[in-house]
Amino acid sequence: MNMKNIGVIGTGKVGLGLIKHLANINHHILIANEGHPALLSETASSFGGSVTAVSQDDIISRAEIIFLAVPWVAINQIAEKASSASGKLIIDATNNIISLQPFKTENLGEVSTGEHVQQLFHTHHVVKAFNTLTAETLQNPTPNDLGKTVIFLSGENDSAKSKASDIISLMGFEPVDLGSFKDAANLQEIGRPLSGIEFIKVKGSKVAHKQ
């Protein structure tokens, strides 16, 4: 896969955290939210010349890898737009939160959030990642000389997970593959054991965690 263009849809706290780390790698980064690209021009310029504000449609047509960092309620609309394309790597950083006050998640029954998003983006390869860290930790991982902050990922396609792992490594994180969406759901979903905890992969050791 040619990774010349990488897109980020969503410029909230999680999206900005992703853009911050992506801006440091040697690829052209396209960013978009629900508004007009001109409204994002200042945000894009603050990250440097490799980051460009475009429309969501531009990202879907031009980016080979697309980070999904939008509210859960916005996913359906983006999936409809993405149905005009195929074969993209969708890195899904979302959680199924539908309300913060009161806090509420969408009940998907026996379907994991990764499976749900893959069903929506059925012409693409979805990898779930970056959804276990808080936005604050994603933006500013704990500085240390021991190792790297872990990004857990899951998915059904080994090739897609390998490409996602490569990007995660370039961003300065340590990718850890949890397996399929269903295998990972009891660990990776919101409120599960890995949620909200920053794990550090210490050089030459197993994964450690910082609460």
CATH number of the CATH domain containing 143 = 3.40.50.720
Long-range CB pairs of 20-28 (<8 Å, 24+ gap) are 20/47, 20/139, 21/171, 21/172, 21/173, 22/51, 22/67, 22/171, 23/47, 23/48, 23/50, 23/51, 24/171, 24/172, 25/167, 25/170, 25/171, 26/50, 27/3, 28/4, 28/52
The average pLDDT across 105-127 equals: 97
Could you tell me the pLDDT band of residue 204, with boundaries at 50, 70 and 90?
confident
Please enumerate in sequence order all residues whose Cβ is within 8 A of that of 11, keeping only pairs 6 or more positions apart, or say none: 19, 31, 32, 33, 40, 43, 69
Place of tokens 């490594």: 169
Per the structure, how many domains does the chain have? 1
What single-letter amino acid sits at 48? G
Higher pLDDT, 211 or 193: 193
Place of tokens 């490569």: 166
In this predicted model, what pLDDT tens digit does every residue of 2-29 receive, in sequence order? Answer: 457 999 999 999 999 999 999 999 899 9
The average pLDDT across 171-176 equals: 97
Confidence (pLDDT) at 1: 40
In this predicted model, what pLDDT tens digit does every residue of 123-168 receive, in sequence order? Answer: 999 999 999 999 999 999 998 888 999 999 999 999 999 999 999 9
The average pLDDT across 98-108 equals: 92
Q: Which domain holds residue 69?
A: 5-210
Confidence (pLDDT) at 41: 93
Residues 115 and 122: their CA atoms lie apart, in Å, by 10
Confidence (pLDDT) at 207: 57
In this predicted model, what pLDDT tens digit does every residue of 64-95 receive, in sequence order? Answer: 999 999 999 999 999 999 999 999 999 999 99
Closest CA to 51 of 28, 82, 25, 77: 28
Confidence (pLDDT) at 2: 43
